[in-house]
Amino acid sequence: RIAAVDGDATAGVHAFLHVDAEGALAAAEASDKRRAAGAPLHHLDGVPIAVKDVLATQGLPTTCGSKILEGWIPPYDATVVRKIKAAGLPILGKTNMDEFAMGSSTEHSAYGPTRNPWDQTRIPGGSGGGSAAAVAAFEAPLAIGTDTGGSIRQPGAVTGTVGVKPTYGAVSRYGLVALANSLDQAGPVTRTVLDSALLQELIGGHDPLDSTSVDQPLPSLVDAARAGATGDLTGVRIGVISELSGDGWQPGVMARFQESVDVLVKAGAEVVEVSCPNFVHALAAYYLILPAECSSNLAKFDAMRYGLRVTPEGNPSSEEVMKASRDAGFGDEVKRRIIIGTYALSSGYYDAYYGQAQKVRTLISRDFEAAFESVDVLVSPTAPTTAFALGEKLDDPIAMYLNDLATIPANLAGVPGISVPAGLADEDGLPVGFQILAPALADDRCYRVGAALE
């Protein structure tokens, strides 16, 4: 299937940056042998999976969609990858992404864009467009993404797949190349809610190698998905976020969203409108906190330790080598954020920008806390529009950032969220996503309500 539809940078879905057919077949054969021998098997043993190219995979290239890491082969596995291998899932390869996970369309990949399988003139969302497109195009039944501001949920929405951002700390970040450490979280991309529950249970759990990993078990996600699938949500209180609708939201997106809300009401849920007044400031706060963290994270790509090294002619100083390498290795969006972040953290501006953004972040967490006193979950459309055309927003960073309006608050507060397919918009026949957010460590509620919509 990958050979038939994936193509390359110039045509086809282009979900994969690297396909490991040999490794995947060897893992599949090992799985067959375990099965034949009657060995105890994990539920997902033998089910192929694709992994976003931001997670370290021992022996397989890991580029983060950037030229600066071209040719880097990690000597170790991310914890998520180690768990996947231990359960016997063959890894099909590494999926395309916006460079260092900065973007909402996968067009910022240094290796060419991924195309939406529903309409290859459209974007597959981002930054994890490769993982979502691989699942949507039936190239892989399961994939791993990472979500710092929406990069699992928004691609899920625009490709008609299920995407989950777990509670911050519920899945280890060890071996996940950091975009913004306080926001990043890896999670499942699948076709069904139950598949995501199985996959999150596999990759999640405490990891001593990640100091922000939560040492507390989550309620059973598989049980929650099964409970939701019965279609009975009696007693569940659902809040529709009033700030995440209105002007700028595509009518076809709002129509499918409303229909899904009606399904939840029929299932016995109690639905009310809830205001989260500080959510309107989430995007502004995020685009200070994220660049601040990533400008500091990306300082390690200095052409000395690994990755691309460009040596200018003559007898260049190490600083000149670093400058030339970073100039050639990083794309425009990455440079833009390094500059914003360095400025926001500079002495004299720190309090005005970074400090202020951190205060807004606290207010957003308080909005969630207040809302969750009266409802069990909050819901909204996942993204304001369906998949837009390739190239449409590439030269307009603000228009690109606005795609994440609805997904960013969850990352700022560390709460879990899921995007489930809500049907196709009337205007363009493209998929719409329905987002469900729950309190930290109550990921099971996202699964229960999500499964009721399938």
Stretch that binds ligand GLN, among 144-152, 305-313, 316-324, 341-349 (CB under 6 A): 144-152
CA separation for the pair 236, 376 (Å, rounded)? 6
In this structure, what are the phi and psi dihedrals at residue 144, rounded to the nearest 5 degrees?
-110, 135
31 or 419: CB nearest ligand GLN = 419
- Gap between the Cα atoms of 62 and 79, Å rounded: 15
Is the four-CA dihedral 329, 333, 335, 338 of positive or negative sign? negative
Beta carbon nearer to ligand GLN, 31 or 151: 151
Rounded least distance, CB 221 to ligand GLN, Å? 21
Window 119-138: contact mask with ligand GLN (x via CB under 6 A) = -------xx-----------
Based on the shown chain and the rule CB under 6 A, indicate whether residue 338 belongs to the binding site for ligand GLN.
Answer: no
Size, binding site for ligand GLN by CB under 6 A: 14
DSSP assignment of 399-410: HHHGGGTTTHHH
Q: What is the closest distance, in whole angstroms, from the C-beta atom of residue 151 to ligand GLN in the complex?
A: 3
Regarding 171 and contact with ligand GLN (CB under 6 A), the answer is: no
Smallest CA-to-CA distance from 127 within 202, 189, 201 is with: 189
| 228 versus 417: smaller Cβ distance to ligand GLN | 417
Minimum Å gap between C-beta 218 and ligand GLN is 21
Instruction: Spell out, one character per residue from 275 to 304, where the chain touches ligand GLN: x when CB under 6 A holds, - when not.
Output: ---------------x--------------
The reply to whether 52 belongs to the active site is yes
Kindly state whether residue 163 participates in binding ligand GLN, applying the rule CB under 6 A: no
Catalytic site residue from 105, 127, 131, 196: 127
Residue 195 contacts ligand GLN per CB under 6 A: no
Work out whether 103 is an interface residue with ligand GLN (CB under 6 A): yes
- Sign, CA dihedral 238-241-244-245, equals positive
Query: What DSSP character marks residue 47?
Result: -
User: If you ran DSSP here, which 8-state letter would residue 322 be given?
Assistant: H
CB 115 within 8 A of CB 108: no
Residues 386-425 that bind ligand GLN (CB under 6 A): 404
- Cβ at position 282, least distance to ligand GLN in Å: 12
Q: Which residue has the tokens 């963290």?
A: 293
Query: Whole-angstrom Cα distance, residue 77 to residue 79?
Result: 6
How far is Cα 389 from Cα 435, in angstroms, rounded to an integer?
23
Structure tokens at 374: 């009266």
Is 151 assigned a catalytic role? yes
Binding of ligand GLN by 107 (CB under 6 A): no
Among 20-28, 142-150, 255-263, 421-429, the segment contacting ligand GLN (CB under 6 A): 142-150
First-to-final CA distance of the chain? 26
185 binds ligand GLN per the rule CB under 6 A = no
Q: Contact with ligand GLN (CB under 6 A): which of 65, 150, 156, 439?
A: 150
Distance CA 446, CA 164 (A): 9
DSSP assigned state of 208: T
Instruction: Please tell me whether residue 69 adopts helix, strand or coil conformation.
Output: helix
Given 31, 131, 151, 260, which residue is catalytic?
151
Q: Which active-site residues does the annotation give?
A: 52, 127, 151
Contact set with ligand GLN (CB under 6 A): 101-104, 126-127, 147-151, 179, 290, 404
